[in-house]
Each structure stands twice: as C-alpha cells, then as structure tokens.
Structure 1
C-alpha cells in the first residue's frame, strides 16, 4: 500500500469523513466506539478521527505477508524491514527526518516506528536472539506538524 506523505493512502486521506471511510472499507473491526478505528485491510489500516469525525491520522501496520502486502513510498518498502535500512534508503533519496522515541518522523509528512513487538530475526535470518535492531511495525501519515507539535 503506497503512502501519500502528509495525506494518507489512496483509500483514506486526511480530512475524509468517517462515513466516507466506512463506505469504502466497511465498519471497523471489533468495537466501533474504540479509538483509533482498525479496519480489516491488508496491510491493516488504523484510522485516528478528530472530534468532528474527520480523519486526522492514517496508520498502516505491517502485514508480514511479503513485500506487496506492506506499506511503501516511492519504491521503498517501509514496513517489516529493519528501521535503520528504511531510514537510510529514504535519506539517500533526499527525505529528511528527526528521530523520535519510537522511530523517525519525516518532514514530508509521515513517521516510521517500532514498538519492539517484532525482533530483527523476523526480517534478517542472520540476526542473533539478542540483536537490538528494530523492525518497522508501522507507518503513521499526517502533516509533519502532527508529529512535531508545531
């Protein structure tokens, strides 16, 4: 699933109304009253809604089902890869970022992050059990100001 920095993905963009999203994706999984809303797509979409029921954040989780089922941007696979490799690939293409507590916030309008649920051995067969490298488990898409607080 290709991200659109600062905007979302083809299926859901910042500013869409909840009713529009649910027309396209169906109802969220589980309890619809929970925030954020999780939709049964591949890869999974997690949508944060503002109090007025418009989309303010689009998150794409990893699928673990191969490159075509992961989030990408401009030919760079973002999810289910080592975070250092993803950041290096994007920096080499001229995208700048600031580190955050769980990953990197890119000035273009997205963030790659890891909650350390996955371990390096899941994407690198040469990794040892104590390998500290993080795997990108998700991508958050919103204007950079959402991440920076500016």
Structure 2
C-alpha cells in the first residue's frame, strides 16, 4: 500500500466524512461510532475522526501488504534503515517518543511490540534496534510539537469553558 503524505491512502483521505470512508471500506470491526475506528482492510486501517466525523488521521500497521512511500518500504523494517533511506531521498526526520515524523505529512512508529530478532534471527535478546510497526498519515502540523504559547492558550481555553 502506498501512502499519500498529508492526505492518507487511496481508500481513506484526511477530511473525508466517516460515511464516505465506510461506503468504501465497510463498517469498523467494533460497533458504535467511536473517535477511533479499526477497519478490516488489508493492511488494517485505524482511522481517527474529529468531532465533526471527518478523518483527522490515517494509521496503517505492519502485516499483510507492507506500506511504501516513494519506493521505500516503511513497515516491518528496522527504523534506522527506513530513516536513512528517506534521508537519502531528501526527507528530513523529526524524532518523537516512539518514532519519526517527516515533513511531507507522515510518521513512522514502533511501540516495541516487535523485537529485532523478528527481522534478524541472529539478533540478541537485548538488541536495541526498533522495527517500524506502523505509519501515521496526516498534514505535517499534526505531528509537530506544540509551542509553549499554544499549550498555554489551550489550557486557558479549557479553564474558561464551562
């Protein structure tokens, strides 16, 4: 599956309504209309919806067809290798706690569910190499850290609301 940075994937795009998404991919695997919905696609998609029921974030996990961008396989590979290949194509990585965000509008992440031995049978139990377990796609601003001013404005707005 190829990602469309900042937009999503062919079957689900940021800004589309839940009804449009579900007309293409079917209902979520769990009942109800939660802000996060998991869809039984191949690979599985996890969609985060805004309050207005439009797509905010598209997440794709490893397993099944792998995820690609500009010919680079993103999922089920060592994170450092993916970052190096994307850097060679001119894409700068911004680290965050579980992965890296890229300016075109996507992030790769590892929740440390997979160990290095999944990809390298010779890896020791304490091998620190992380495996990319998923890709998140949204406009780049979604992934950037908020400024102190933005955090303070958010807190003030929460305190002022009833």
TM-score, normalising length from structure 2? 0.87
Give the distance between the partners of 1:31 and 1:123, measured in 2 at CA: 35
Which is greater in Rg? 2
Q: Deviations over 1:18-70 (max 9, x none)?
A: 0010000100012333331000011111001010000010000011x4xxx01
Alignment of 1:71-90 (within 5 A): 71-90=67-86
Give the distance between the partners of 2:18 and 2:33, measured in 1 at CA: 12
1:128 to 113, 124, 135: 124
User: Which stretch shows the higher mean deviation, 28-37 or 140-149?
Assistant: 28-37
Question: Quick check: 2:61–2:134 contact (8 Å CA) kept in 1?
Answer: yes
Give the distance between the partners of 1:149 and 1:133, measured in 2 at CA: 25
Corresponding residue pairs, total: 146
Q: CA deviation at 1:89?
A: 0.6
Q: CA deviation at 1:149?
A: 4.4
The alignment's C-alpha RMSD in Å is 1.1
Q: CA deviation at 1:125?
A: 2.1
TM-score, normalising length from structure 1? 0.93
SS state at 1:70 partner: coil
Name 1:146's counterpart in structure 2.
142
Name 1:40's counterpart in structure 2.
40
Give the distance between the partners of 1:149 and 1:115, measured in 2 at CA: 19
Q: Which runs of no fewer than 5 residues in structure 2 stay unpaired?
A: 147-162
Name 2:102's counterpart in structure 1.
106
Which runs of structure 1 show a deviation greater than 4 angstroms over 4 or more consecutive aligned residues? Answer: none
Question: Quick check: 2:66–2:74 contact (8 Å CA) kept in 1?
Answer: yes
Q: Which runs of no fewer than 5 residues in structure 1 stay unpaired?
A: none
